[in-house]
Structure 1
């Protein structure tokens, strides 16, 4: 598997000939984007690689379509040309494109493209905020990707989530080769102490339960709403037991890496 960190949640994954893009965000930095309940965030870092330099994609995974830090206007413009797009069931209705597959947590879809092995994509649970916040923050899913004849997930993308019983249960049930783990500890001044994604220490706890071969931190920088951020993520990994710490792989910006 080859992975290229674009920035934020956006990672290009090359797997058995498939070109898979996770949560496309390609807008330049500097703009403020509105979220729910009067919250907003400023993008502070641009993409490490321009979308025009990446070519076309066989599969785009969109954990949720309604927050610009996971799908911004430049990323949205890429969707019609992708062979397949997988997102939430509600997001598929909003996007209304013929190449979009909508899933709820626990549902799967099998995808095909010429000359490459079939992929199974299964949506995994997320809760993008405190208890009872789903009607406000909206639907979010993660993704487990499997190759034919294998129970192991070649890739698990956690999506934007706090550490819930459902997410931990998914980690205990999954056998995962490579995990992309979103963290950052998102908070907003308007909603006080409420958190909307895992902190670094919670991400480390999840990886300790999951035990993937490789864990790749993602979505921990590049936006003003990250309160735990890169420092929190790196500190938590550095303080983890050796058996957990050695699983983490930090991707350089814009450089393809074999993992």
Structure 2
């Protein structure tokens, strides 16, 4: 498996002869985006690669469509050039054009051109505190299983805090590579409430799921992140050795085998 971190939550995954792209974000920096309910963010860093650098892709795995730090304008335009888009049920209704909507633990199969099928399972995610879903909207993670492999899955957490649903991931899946969305998001309007994981929360999730490799993403490049890479690294460095030895930070734009 080869991973290329484009920036933010955007990751090019090359696996089993396929090219998958997560949460496409390719807008240049400098613009402020509204997320609704008095929240918003300014993009402070651009992508390491352009859409032309990553296309063609076989599918987009979109954890949610309604926040611009996970699907911005250029990323949204890119969807028209992708055969399959897998996202939340509500997101699929908004996007139309045959997008496949999944609720947690529903699955779909990526097939075509005579290649073995690649299974994709939606996993639970909660983008904020308890009872926040009516405000923040639906989010999912994804588990991708290579054909013929029994030793684990690629798990993409999506934008989530550490909550009970992630225990289901540990119970139902054997995780090989975990891509964790961090950033410790907060907004002034809601005070100390977090909307994504800190490094400390990520360490707890790593101990729970025990992946072989952990790849942190979505921790820099936007003004609403309250913990960037430096803070996450500090938290993870303070974690037990069983956590520290699994973490692999990717250099943006550089294809990396994991």
Q: Secondary structure at the match of 2:20?
A: strand
Deviations 1:21-75 (A, max 9, x none): 0100000000000012111100000000111122211010000000000000100
Q: Distance in 2 between matches of 1:152 and 1:64?
A: 28
Task: Give the corresponding residue for 1:141.
Answer: 140
How far 1:89 sits from its partner (Å)?
0.5
Task: Give the corresponding residue for 1:106.
Answer: 105
| Superposition map of 1:102-251 within 5 A | 102-251=101-250
User: Structure 1 unaligned runs (5+)?
Assistant: none
Which moves more between the two structures, 193-202 or 113-122? 113-122
Task: Give the corresponding residue for 2:64.
Answer: 64
How far 1:179 sits from its partner (Å)?
1.0
How far 1:152 sits from its partner (Å)?
4.5
Deviations 1:145-169 (A, max 9, x none): 1123444443100000011111123
Q: Distance in 1 between matches of 2:148 and 2:215?
A: 25
Deviations 1:143-194 (A, max 9, x none): 0111234444431000000111111231243201111001110001111111
Task: Please report the TM-score for the alignment, with normalisation by the length of structure 2.
Answer: 0.97
Which moves more between the two structures, 200-209 or 163-172? 163-172
- Is the 2:15–2:146 Cα contact (8 Å) retained in structure 1? no
Task: Give the corresponding residue for 1:258.
Answer: 257
Q: Distance in 1 between matches of 2:226 and 2:114?
A: 44
> Runs of 4+ in structure 1 displaced over 6 angstroms?
none
Q: Secondary structure at the match of 1:201?
A: helix
Task: Please report the TM-score for the alignment, with normalisation by the length of structure 1.
Answer: 0.96
How far 1:233 sits from its partner (Å)?
1.0
| Superposition map of 1:7-18 within 5 A | 7-18=7-18
- Is the 2:42–2:223 Cα contact (8 Å) retained in structure 1? yes
Q: Distance in 1 between matches of 2:141 and 2:195?
A: 15
- Is the 1:144–1:153 Cα contact (8 Å) retained in structure 2? no
Q: Distance in 2 between matches of 1:52 and 1:137?
A: 31
**What's the RMSD between the two structures over aligned residues?**
1.2
Equivalent residues, number: 258
- Is the 1:64–1:87 Cα contact (8 Å) retained in structure 2? yes
Task: Give the corresponding residue for 2:39.
Answer: 39
User: Structure 2 unaligned runs (5+)?
Assistant: none
Q: Distance in 1 between matches of 2:171 and 2:231?
A: 24
